[in-house]
Structure 1
């Protein structure tokens, strides 16, 4: 049930309180409710869904019940070995093992007891596909589409998707839909699929402000919300966590909330689970941990201010250390919308890795592999920028590339370019020299880069950056490309086009140090009683590496499951008058990240 804070009594008691209603937080609340807890879910913004609602909703869970039908040869040993090679010492092996063991159980528990349903993508490679133990399919799960009309008036609670990822005024499309829409004039099957989509959307828009067929991250959030409401979980939106209350044992036993001038003390018998999205929009911490990354480049939802982490740090928690990066990254392009807001568009797979596309720096030179994962792409931009101006970088293509693949917010087809040209989002020129002049980059360098890529397209070999040499890279090229490498094609026919790219942080990798039950640890590696973290509030079990699709949502789900289970056990012990099985002063028995960050003032 969706409440106002004034509807709760002073010191009203809940078994479990979850702070943050993104994918991890909503999952934690649902796990606790399924197992019989009285649950309060608190969200600081007016919407539920967080950045998950913006995302593809991909959840990386090796060896789920869906995996064998796609990849019967996968195993836990394969996945564990893959993560060991990908992540190494950047995270605890015990935490990775806890994730791998809990993930399949979490998926099964949700699917058996809620409306949350998944399927495995038939083909979705691990990003570091060159490593032993990687797979091309079976580990990446996606939520089934959901009919938002089932939520009734509560449909309005779901954070709408990024408008630029929708079509026709709010119609969501997934990977399969995009393929059908682009092929509808060539295939009767695609035409039928497209007509069905369009007809459903037209009917929905008669009564609803946007499309009600939810896919990807919106579908996952819709299914979670529907399940939470069915179990009478109390949901508060636009509500701020102001304080964590501790008892004589320094365990968390309550919180203070505020909403529209109202304030309530809430008692908590089992635990508080932090899933507020991380530090990315915390002004001081962002400057210290993501130096040089403009907040305007962040495509994430607005709720991850780090304020809940501030309270945890004050209660004795600490940040982890040793991650490859403090955040996960993607190249983004920026455009002002007509209403004055800023569109931040992540360039995941639709353009930069296709044949006939290159990325250059201010010298007009390529400086990275355009087909690498978006995380490594963002890191490479920042590293290159230390020596040669590479932020912004420039994604360059010709008339054929723009028509076939689009360019960022510019859709495939080559039509409707005028608004993008008028506001400067898209740059067009008749020649490469003219394009370089308009972009303010070196013309000779650009000409040389294009000449090189045109030669490489003939041979299929990129000796500079080895583009298109892994299964993952080739999967993001063009399978129908007639050349020897699906990632390499010429840039030859004018006019020529470019958009500017920036490194955008898509989520926090550094978070609160926690154990393999998601209990937040203090500086002595002991659990802070009654305090848990999952999602991007928890130190990344991937150590800031991005080895596969869905490696934020997957661990978020697994540790939400573990946190809810442990918190509920604690609540039951408290109600029975027993002490917790492992008090806050006991040493931690399981592996956890050892290094710590002091709180940043």
Structure 2
């Protein structure tokens, strides 16, 4: 193999860009092959939260943490949730490598990390949990730093790109989507209008508050890495190059890839790194891995996320490590009002809403997606289908998806009834049980404590997804 043969990176999301940049930093050229016509992948749609214990960013901000404390936290979480999938070697490699990686990327000028203020660990009840310091994101970067590549950056439709986490956590995630008059915020307008579907910056893109085209959340994290990648002449990013085959020599070693492009097939030779994302838009893989059918599954990921990496690895003998379906990072969502996929948001975590199954009963902490997934997809007791139930107070105060507070939902998009019994009949669930559930739930809301499922007890949810201005009011009831 020639010393300067490029590393072939399959996937132009955050992991692919980071891989190529690491290669270039070591003097090795890289070719990034991205199936879509945009860079960023699923990471650009995300909230841009990177969880890392004992990181240098928290240390410089005066937050105490350690690897021992981080390990204590992870082991306690795993003990209660998924002890059967704990890989000791992988756990220790992750715990020790992550802090070094965060510093490596910052030292390489790929990103300027900041702690997300006041955002607690998911499982604040676990031993070793911290109230803040382990969730990192990027400082604001101005889109002008990308030059012509700004138009090739995937833009999140799920997060109000341009605002910061400090603003979001002070105002509430849902409230950042609407202005003072109850209309969709500007970031939401851009996303729904058809852009790719979560002092001016100095040369690094980090100096002071951004004006003009501030990029934050997952879009901003990807933009920051992309800005740095574009400075490396040895990195070649090729869009609309979907890798369909791994090339092998006579011994079976992988020596390159074959990609489909608008102009036909091309072969690219060199060592291969699969940096693709997951399998959301491949029904066969979803069924194989999760055991879910299209009726119970949708995706908030870009449509280019089709499991290509899994299929390629399997084609040369790779084995799939299976994680239980209810231990994977899945969110409750709904069919998008503005596209072919699904949407999601914090609306289920807002007051005046609850989740029930076909029996009309609650079965989980329905403000916390981790518990929703764990209970809904419990292999011994699945709760499919399940239903988000909300009242008119919720509609007036929060809206849903692209429908602003007080707005009217699109025709046929939701079911409504004059009573819970009527609503239950329309949904095919037990209306009498639904009424009883709502009455019991309203009592918990009045008391401010949910003794059945712990709604409102997760600090992360309360800060990130809930309504910071809401407190239980004696005498209130769910209409």
Change (3 A) 1:201 1:125: closer
Does residue 367 of structure 1 match 2:367? no
Matches within 5 A, 1:21-40: 21-40=12-31
Contact 2:255 2:269 (8 Å CA) reproduced:
yes
* Residues 1:14 and 1:262: Cα distance change in structure 2 (over 3 Å): farther
Task: List alignment gaps of at least 5 residues for structure 1.
Answer: 1-10, 494-601
1:287 and 2:275 matched: no
Q: Does residue 379 of structure 2 align to residue 397 of structure 1?
A: no
In the TM superposition, residue 478 of structure 1 has moved relative to its aligned partner by 4.1
CA drift of 1:447 comes to: 1.3
Deviation at 1:253, TM superposition (A): 2.7
Cross-structure match for 1:83: 74
| Matching residue of 1:154 | 149
Which residue is 2:374 aligned to?
A: 379
CA–CA distance in 2 between the matches of 1:364 and 1:384? 20
Contact 1:360 1:367 in 2 (8 A): yes
1 or 2 for the larger relative contact order (CA 8 Å, sep ≥6)? 1
Tell me the secondary structure at the aligned position of residue 14 of structure 1: coil
**2:143, 2:213 within 8 Å by CA — same for their partners in 1?**
yes
* TM-aligned CA deviation for residue 53 of structure 1: 0.9
Give the structure-2-normalised TM-score.
0.82
Is the partner of 1:297 in helix, strand or coil?
A: coil
> 1:51: how far off?
0.8
Aligned counterparts of 2:439 and 2:320: Cα–Cα separation in 1 = 47
**Compared CA separation, residues 359 and 293, structure 1 to 2 (3 A):** same
In structure 2, what is the equivalent of residue 224 of structure 1? 225
Could you list the per-position Cα deviations for residues 371-408 of structure 1 after superposition, in whole angstroms to 9, with x for gaps in the alignment?
33x133123223499566x41x2222323333333334
Residue aligned with 1:141, SS = strand
Distance 1:201 1:425 in 2: 19
Alpha carbons of structure 1 residues 471 and 375: separation in structure 2 relative to 1, 3 Å: closer
Q: In structure 1, which of residues 412, 436, 459 is the aligned counterpart of residue 447 of structure 2?
A: 459
SS of alignment partner, residue 244 of structure 1 = strand
CA distance in 2, matches of 1:351, 1:384: 26
Tell me the CA shift for residue 55 of structure 1: 0.5
Q: Pick the aligned partner of 1:433 from 421, 424, 446.
A: 421
User: Alignment partner of 2:377: what SS?
Assistant: helix
Match 2:352 to one of 345, 352, 356: 356
Q: Provide the rounded CA distance (Å) in 1 between the counterparts of 2:172 and 2:251.
A: 61
Contact 1:335 1:425 survives alignment (8 Å): no
CA distance in 2, matches of 1:84, 1:154: 42
Partner of 2:7: helix, strand, or coil?
Answer: strand
Indicate conservation of the 8 Å contact 1:45/1:237, yes or no.
yes
Separation in 1, partners of 2:460, 2:11: 33
Offset from partner CA, 1:120-164 (integer Å, 9 cap, x none): 1112222122211122211111122221122222112112222x6
Q: Kindly indicate whether the alpha-carbon contact (under 8 Å) linking 1:277 and 1:303 is maintained by their aligned counterparts in 2.
A: no
Q: CA deviation at 1:454?
A: 1.7
Shifted more, 243-252 versus 303-312: the winner is 243-252
Query: Are the counterparts in 2 of residues 43 and 239 from structure 1 also a CA contact under 8 Å?
Result: yes
* 1:346 corresponds to: 344
Whole-Å Cα distance in 2 between the matches of residues 308 and 433 of structure 1?
Answer: 47
Deviation of 1:180 (Å): 6.9
Deviations along 1:457-485, whole A, 9 cap, x unmatched? 2333323223234434554544443338x
Q: Tell me, in whole angstroms, the C-alpha distance in 2 between the residues paired with 1:490 and 1:362.
A: 26
Further displaced range: 92-101 or 313-322? 313-322
Give the structure-1-normalised TM-score. 0.67
Query: How has the CA–CA distance of structure 1 residues 124 and 177 changed in structure 2, closer, same or farther, with 3 Å as cutoff?
Result: closer
Matched length: 447
Which residue is equivalent to 1:599?
none
The Cα of 1:433 is off from its aligned counterpart by: 3.3
- Hey, what's the Cα distance between the residues in 1 that align with 2:453 and 2:3? 60
Question: Following TM superposition, by how much is the alpha carbon of 1:217 offset from its aligned partner in structure 2, in angstroms?
Answer: 0.8
Taking structure 1 as reference, are residues 48 and 477 closer, same or farther at Cα in structure 2, changes over 3 Å only? closer
Q: Would you say the 8 A contact 2:289–2:325 is kept in 1?
A: no
Once the 2 structures are TM-superposed, how far is the Cα of residue 452 of structure 1 from its aligned partner? Answer: 0.5
Structure 1 CA distance for aligned equivalents of residues 57 and 331 of structure 2: 28
1:101 to 2:96 alignment: yes
Q: Deviations over 1:407-431 (max 9, x none)?
A: 34433x32x21xx1x4222334443
- Change over 3 Å in CA distance of 1:259–1:178 after alignment to 2: same
Which structure features the higher share of strand residues? 1
Residue number in structure 2 paired with 1:257: 259
Kindly state the Cα deviation for residue 117 of structure 1 after the two structures are TM-superposed.
1.8
Instruction: Assess, with a 3 A threshold, how the Cα gap between structure 1 residues 285 and 209 changes in structure 2: closer, same or farther.
Output: closer
Give the whole-Å Cα distance in 1 for the aligned partners of 2:433 and 2:61.
45
Larger Rg computed on CA atoms: 1
Let me know the Cα RMSD of the aligned residues: 3.5
Q: For the structure 1 residues 26 and 462, does the alpha-carbon distance in structure 2 shift closer, same or farther, using more than 3 Å as the test? A: same
Rounded to whole Å, the distance in 1 between the matches of 2:243 and 2:263 is 13
Tell me, in whole angstroms, the C-alpha distance in 1 between the residues paired with 2:306 and 2:327. Answer: 15
- Take 1:324 and 1:426, find their aligned partners in 2: how far apart are those partners? 27
Contact 2:298/2:341 (8 A) holds in 1: no
Secondary structure class of the residue paired with 2:397: helix
Q: How does 1:477-492 map to 2 (within 5 A)?
A: 477-483=466-472, 490-492=476-478
Q: Is the 8 A contact 2:117 2:165 kept in 1?
A: no
- List runs of 5+ in structure 2 lacking aligned partners: 197-211
